[in-house]
C-alpha cells in the first residue's frame, strides 16, 4: 500500500514538474509576458512570480527525486 502511495506521488510530481517547466520563460518573456508585462525579463530582472515559480519547481523536483529513490530502494 505504501508503494501505491509513493507511485501516486511520483506520477503527480512528474505531471507537476512538466507543467512548471513549461511555465518557465525560455528566450522570450514566458510567465511575465503572460501577465501583460511589456518589458522583457532580461531588462526588468527577475519578478516575484518568476522567483516563486523557480522555488516551486525546485521543490517539486526534489520531491520527484526522493520518491524515485525510495521507489527504487523498495523494488530493488
> Cell 527525486 maps to which residue?
65
pLDDT of residue 46: 72
CB 63 within 8 A of CB 70: no
Report the pLDDT value the prediction gives residue 15, as an integer from 0 to 100.
98
Q: What is the pLDDT of residue 25?
A: 75
Segments in the chain below pLDDT 50: 41
Give every CB contact of residue 68 below 8 A, 6+ residues apart in sequence: 10
Task: Give residue 24's pLDDT.
Answer: 86
| Residue 28 confidence (pLDDT) | 60
Amino acid at each position: 500500500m505504501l508503494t501505491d502511495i509513493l507511485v501516486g506521488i511520483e506520477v503527480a510530481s512528474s505531471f507537476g514538474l512538466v507543467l512548471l517547466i513549461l511555465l518557465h520563460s525560455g528566450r522570450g518573456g514566458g510567465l511575465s509576458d503572460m501577465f501583460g508585462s511589456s518589458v522583457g525579463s532580461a531588462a526588468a530582472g527577475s519578478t516575484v512570480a518568476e522567483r516563486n515559480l523557480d522555488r516551486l519547481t525546485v521543490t517539486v523536483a526534489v520531491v520527484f527525486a526522493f520518491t524515485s529513490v525510495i521507489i527504487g530502494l523498495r523494488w530493488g
